[in-house]
Amino acid sequence: MTPTTQQQQLQHHLAYPPGQPTTTTTKTATPDPPIQQQQQQTQTQHVINDDDDEVEWDTGIGVSDADIVASDGDGTDLDDTRPNVQQFLPLLRVLGKGSFGKVVLVQKSVGREQGVLFAMKILKKSHLVRRRQIERTRTERKVLSAVNHPFIMKLHYAFQSPDKLYLVLDYCPGGELFFHLSRFRRFPERVARFYAAELLLALGHLHKRGIIYRDLKPENVLLDADGHVKLGDFGLAKAGIRHAYEGATSMCGTPEYMAPEVLAQQGHGFCVDYWGLGMLTYEMMTGLPPWYTTDRAKLFRRLRSAPLDIPPYFSAQSASFTSALLERNPRRRLGVTGIRAAMENDFFKSISWRALYGRRVEAPIRPCEGWSPPAGGDENEQTSSSQQQSSQVNNVPTDLDAATANFDNQFTRMPVETDDKGNDDNEDLEELHEDTFVGFTFDDDDRDAAEAAHQQKQQNSRQRTQHIAREGHHID
The 3-class secondary structure across 94-109, one letter per residue, is: EEEECCCEEEEEEECC
CA–CA separation, 223 and 370 (whole Å): 16
CA–CA separation, 408 and 200 (whole Å): 28
Annotated binding residue 121 = yes
CA–CA separation, 422 and 186 (whole Å): 44
Query: For the range 298-301, what are the long-range contacts, defined as Cβ-Cβ under 8 Å and sequence gap of 24 or more?
Result: 299/255, 299/256, 300/255, 300/258, 300/263
Active-site residue, 52 included: no
51, 77, 215, 425: the catalytic one is 215
SS3 assignment, position 183: helix
Pairing of strands 252-253, 48-49: antiparallel
CA–CA separation, 12 and 14 (whole Å): 7
- Outline where 287-403 has alpha helix (H): 296-305, 316-325, 339-343, 353-357, 386-393, 400-403
Which residues lie closer than 8 Å to 264 by C-beta, 6 or more apart?
304
Q: Are 161 and 75 in contact (CB under 8 A)?
A: no
CA–CA separation, 304 and 190 (whole Å): 29
For residue 84, give Cα distances in angstroms to 115, 393, 444. Answer: 18, 13, 20
Terminal CA-CA length for the chain: 70
Cite the annotated binding site for ATP by residue number.
Answer: 121
Cite the annotated binding site by residue number.
Answer: 121
Give catalytic residues, as residue numbers.
Answer: 215
